[in-house]
Amino acid sequence: MSTQKNITVVGAGLVGSLVSIYLAKRGYKVDVYERRGDMRKANMIAGRSINLALSDRGWRGLEGVGIADEIKR
């Protein structure tokens, strides 16, 4: 009998999100907690901007979880 292991990740930033994908693909049940609310739903007077640049190391991480091509599109 196999037992699925539960993992809790605190922080849904770039690293927390990536490690959560890695763990889920390895069969873990992952719960992710983030202190901040969903930026897409927040009503911000000054607007919002997410400047994101990926280094070679970042692309390798995305390739490792199989989503690099989707992100490039």
Structural domains in the chain (count): 1
For residue 42, CA distances in Å to 47, 50, 65 come to 10, 14, 29
The verdict on residue 30 lying in a domain is: yes
Phi/psi of residue 19, nearest 5 degrees: -65, -30
The verdict on residue 1 lying in a domain is: no
The pTM score is 0.69
Average pLDDT, the chain: 87
| Percent of the chain at pLDDT exceeding 70 | 85
The verdict on residue 33 lying in a domain is: yes
* Domain region containing 50: 6-72
Convert the pLDDT of each residue in 48-62 to its tens digit.
666 678 899 999 999
What is the band of 7 on the pLDDT scale with cuts at 50, 70, 90? very high
Q: What is the pLDDT of residue 10?
A: 97
